[in-house]
């Protein structure tokens, strides 16, 4: 089980391919706050709802100084299909090796339909302008989570 992050921790650096195969790094966003959210799989109902919620609120979040990056174990080709099908505007990156998911505590044992399984733990990490964890939310729900983040951040 990977260690969960806590406020004040340094957010693990990462560089992952986006839906177009271009590298996206956390370091590219230095000086801005970043909402890094982890979801199990593109093109699934819950993950689609969450990605659409982030897309619908992207302007509000950007105006408040936040960039949004969604991370899943999907390959860029699947992320591109997801983006096109759902008209998503958030940056989606793939972590098929699951190293970044693990470094953020977003991969490990979880309950799914009453069974213990190993997989992606739906999580959201808010990183400040200096690369430190401001908030760490684990085992979040896909529906209503973006509204909760907006409320918790006072946006």
User: In sequence order, what DSSP letters do the residues of 61-115 get, joined into one string?
Assistant: HHHTTEEEEEEES--HHHHHHHHHHHT--SEEEE-TT-HHHHHTT-EEEEEETTE
CA dist 123 and 36 (Å) reads 8
Residue 118 CA neighbour count, 13 Å, CB half: 6
* Catalytic option among 11, 47, 125, 136: 47
What phi, psi does 43 have (nearest 5°)?
65, 25
Query: Do residues 72 and 38 make contact, with C-beta atoms less than 8 angstroms apart?
Result: yes
CA dist 70 and 117 (Å) reads 22
Residue 47 a catalytic site member? yes
Q: Which residues are catalytic?
A: 47
């Amino acid at each position: 089980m990977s260690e969960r992050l806590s406020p004040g921790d340094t957010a693990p650096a990462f560089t992952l391919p986006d839906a177009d195969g271009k590298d996206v790094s956390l370091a590219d966003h230095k000086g801005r706050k970043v909402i890094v959210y982890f979801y199990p799989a593109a093109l699934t109902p819950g993950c689609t709802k969450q990605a659409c919620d982030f897309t619908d609120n992207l302007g509000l979040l950007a105006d408040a100084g936040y960039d949004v990056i969604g991370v899943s174990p999907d390959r860029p080709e699947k992320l591109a299909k997801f983006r096109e099908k759902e008209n998503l505007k958030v940056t989606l990156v793939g972590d098929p090796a699951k190293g970044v998911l693990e470094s953020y505590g977003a991969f490990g044992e979880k309950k799914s339909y009453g069974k213990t399984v190993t997989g992606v733990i739906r999580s959201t990490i808010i990183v400040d302008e200096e690369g430190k964890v401001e908030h760490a939310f684990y085992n979040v729900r896909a529906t209503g989570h973006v509204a909760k983040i907006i409320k918790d951040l006072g946006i």
